C-alpha cells in the first residue's frame, strides 16, 4: 500500500515498533477499508454512514498536499521521511489475482452510497 511505504499512513502517538505488525498486514491489502469515524471532519463520535475509503491505485499519487503532511508531522512531532526510510524493507507483494470488480468505479464511473435512515429498534430476544 502506497500510504504505508511512503510514510503517509500514521497511527498518532503509537510507537512505530508497536504498530509495525499491523502495518505489515495492512500493506498486503488492496487499499480499501470502511471508515466509521471520520475525525478529520471533527466528528466527536462515530455517527453517520460508514464510508468506503480507498487509496488511488495506479493514479496520480502526487495529489497529497505537502503542506498538510508537514502540518501533521509538526503536530505529532514525526517525520514522514523517517517513516518512509524505516518502512522501505516492508514486503508488499503484488496481488496474485485482482478481482475485476475491485475497482468498479474506474470501469463504470460510478460508485455506491450508503444512506442512513432512522428505524425502530425491535427487541426480539431478552437482553442481555
Q: Is the pLDDT of residue 90 over 60?
A: yes
CB 14 within 8 A of CB 83: no
Q: 127: pLDDT confidence band, cut at 50, 70 and 90?
A: low
Q: Which uninterrupted H or E stretch holds 33?
A: strand 32-35
* Local structure of 115: helix, strand or coil: coil
Give the mean pLDDT of 3-20. Answer: 89
pTM for the predicted model, two decimal places: 0.64
Beta bridge partners of 27: none
Q: Tens digits of per-residue pLDDT, 80-89? A: 999 999 998 8
CB 30 within 8 A of CB 57: yes
Res 76: pLDDT: 95
Res 70: pLDDT: 96
Q: Tens digits of per-residue pLDDT, 23-64? A: 888 887 776 778 887 777 777 887 778 888 776 655 565 578
Percent of the chain with pLDDT strictly greater than 90:
22
Q: What is the mean pLDDT of the chain?
A: 81
Amino acid at each position: 500500500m502506497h500510504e504505508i511505504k511512503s510514510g503517509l499512513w500514521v497511527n498518532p502517538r503509537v510507537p512505530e515498533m508497536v504498530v509495525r505488525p499491523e502495518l505489515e498486514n495492512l500493506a498486503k491489502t488492496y487499499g480499501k477499508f470502511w471508515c466509521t469515524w471520520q475525525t478529520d471532519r471533527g466528528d466527536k463520535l462515530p455517527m453517520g454512514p460508514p464510508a468506503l475509503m480507498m487509496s488511488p491505485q495506479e493514479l496520480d499519487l502526487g495529489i497529497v498536499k505537502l503542506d498538510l503532511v508537514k502540518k501533521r508531522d509538526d503536530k505529532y512531532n514525526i517525520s514522514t521521511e523517517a517513516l518512509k526510510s524505516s518502512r522501505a524493507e516492508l514486503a508488499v507483494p503484488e496481488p496474485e489475482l485482482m478481482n475485476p470488480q475491485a475497482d468498479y468505479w474506474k470501469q463504470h464511473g460510478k460508485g455506491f452510497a450508503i444512506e442512513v435512515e432512522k428505524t425502530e429498534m425491535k427487541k426480539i430476544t431478552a437482553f442481555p
